[in-house]
């Protein structure tokens, strides 16, 4: 729900999610917000403690999960307690994964602090960590018990992180909502300036789109695959950069690469491909890479199935197809 973080205690009490709460966050978010969140909770009689790890995708590992779990045990968290994920996509993935396996599973609450997490990664229940072989290769799907989206968190984000999150919202628009695409085209300046009305509108639409898709196909057997538009090549680019390339930046390039294939195969008209590319440029996102990727580079992607890989290719702005590309 889009609301104020000040409403978190009321929601926790109403839903009776846990007896005590472990707030999992990263080093940057801990510095910015941990004292504030603890104060809000403790003033309302809710017991909570903060545990953090070093920020960055490079720390989204099993070792980080192990360290966090050990700290939770030392602090005597039990299966009657719950985890609050406070942060961006990396935090959400790690905290959600930890919640799904700690003491064989405890409830998780998502409090996203980045545009990317608010519009995408906090929604849908996917959790996971990376392996040297690829991104998100170990994980679970467990739905959070509560999601609190407070756009005030965005005011402390660097502009590049706003652009980073906008890539996922543009993705949602391309796969399912031409009206949202037009809205972003017409309101880019206000969106990047974090005008409340515009930013809340695009977050809400992205959340609705993703939620409707996940409700129909939680385990990604078919329909949910369309949310991976731009991600097949994007994940490879992230890995090749040793995770120095921001996720949204990689997905932006991945969308352009997918569009190129879609045009070549006759699924997408070239003017639509150009329109998508132009919007990404307008958002300040990268649309090209020096690395010449091919289907061969996608062999370790989760979307690869035996003899083929599932590529999500647009057929227009607002619609896509799942194309099974034969592996070389």
**CA 228, chain centre distance (Å):** 11
CB atoms within 10 A of CB 80: 11
Q: Which of 104, 219, 221, 306 is catalytic?
A: 104
Concerning whether 133 is annotated as a catalytic residue, the answer is no
Q: What is the DSSP letter of 289?
A: -
Spatial separation of the C-alpha atoms in residues 214 and 212, rounded to whole Å: 6
Q: What is the DSSP letter of 152?
A: G
Spatial separation of the C-alpha atoms in residues 319 and 187, rounded to whole Å: 22
Q: Which of 205, 235, 239, 249 is catalytic?
A: 235
Contact of 268 with 313, CB cutoff 8 Å? yes
Concerning whether 220 is annotated as a catalytic residue, the answer is yes
Q: Which of 55, 57, 220, 238 is catalytic?
A: 220
Q: Which of 59, 228, 259, 310 is catalytic?
A: 228
Phi-psi region of 96 (alpha: psi -120 to 50; beta: other; left: phi over 0): alpha
Spatial separation of the C-alpha atoms in residues 22 and 287, rounded to whole Å: 39
Concerning whether 247 is annotated as a catalytic residue, the answer is yes
Residues 6 or more apart whose CB falls under 8 angstroms from that of 81 comprise: 18, 19, 20, 21, 22, 106
Concerning whether 168 is annotated as a catalytic residue, the answer is yes
Concerning whether 31 is annotated as a catalytic residue, the answer is no
Q: Which of 60, 210, 239, 277 is catalytic?
A: 210
Spatial separation of the C-alpha atoms in residues 175 and 172, rounded to whole Å: 5
Q: Which of 171, 205, 224, 277 is catalytic?
A: 224
Q: Which of 136, 168, 171, 259 is catalytic?
A: 168
Concerning whether 224 is annotated as a catalytic residue, the answer is yes
**CA 19, chain centre distance (Å):** 28
Tokens of residue 5, six digits: 């973080």
CB atoms within 10 A of CB 147: 23
Q: Which of 247, 249, 277, 302 is catalytic?
A: 247
Q: Which of 126, 145, 163, 277 is catalytic?
A: 126
Q: Which of 52, 60, 163, 231 is catalytic?
A: 231
Concerning whether 42 is annotated as a catalytic residue, the answer is no
Concerning whether 231 is annotated as a catalytic residue, the answer is yes
Tokens of residue 262, six digits: 């879609």
To which H or E segment does residue 249 belong?
helix 247-264
Concerning whether 55 is annotated as a catalytic residue, the answer is no
Q: Which residues are catalytic?
A: 104, 126, 168, 210, 220, 224, 228, 231, 235, 247
């Amino acid at each position: 729900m889009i609301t104020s973080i000040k409403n978190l205690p009321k929601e926790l009490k109403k839903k009776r999610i846990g007896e005590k709460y472990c707030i999992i966050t990263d080093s940057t978010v801990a510095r910015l917000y941990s004292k504030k969140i603890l104060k809000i909770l403790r003033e309302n009689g809710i017991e909570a403690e903060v545990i953090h790890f070093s920020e960055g995708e490079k720390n989204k590992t099993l070792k980080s999960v192990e360290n966090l779990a050990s700290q939770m045990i030392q602090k005597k968290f039990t299966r009657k307690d719950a985890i609050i994920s406070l942060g961006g996509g990396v935090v959400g993935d790690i905290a959600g994964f930890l919640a799904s396996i700690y003491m064989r599973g405890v409830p998780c609450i998502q409090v996203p602090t980045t545009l990317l997490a608010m519009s995408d990664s906090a929604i849908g229940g996917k959790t996971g960590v990376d392996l040297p072989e690829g991104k998100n290769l170990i994980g679970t799907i467990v739905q959070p018990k509560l999601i609190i989206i407070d756009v005030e968190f965005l005011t402390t984000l660097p502009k590049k992180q706003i652009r980073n999150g906008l890539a996922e919202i543009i993705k949602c628009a391309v796969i399912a909502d031409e009206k949202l695409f037009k809205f972003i085209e017409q309101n880019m300046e206000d969106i990047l300036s974090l005008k409340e009305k515009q930013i809340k509108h695009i977050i809400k639409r992205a959340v609705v789109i993703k939620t409707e898709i996940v409700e129909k196909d939680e385990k990604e057997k078919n329909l949910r695959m369309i949310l991976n538009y731009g991600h097949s090549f994007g994940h490879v680019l992230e890995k090749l950069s040793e995770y120095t390339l921001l996720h949204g930046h990689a997905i932006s390039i991945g969308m352009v690469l997918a569009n190129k294939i879609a045009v070549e195969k006759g699924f997408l008209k070239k003017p639509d491909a150009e329109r998508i590319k132009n919007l990404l440029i307008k958002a300040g996102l990268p649309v090209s890479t020096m690395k010449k990727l091919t289907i061969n580079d996608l062999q370790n992607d989760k979307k690869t199935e035996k003899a083929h890989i599932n590529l999500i290719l647009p057929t227009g702005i607002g619609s896509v197809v799942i194309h099974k590309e034969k592996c070389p």
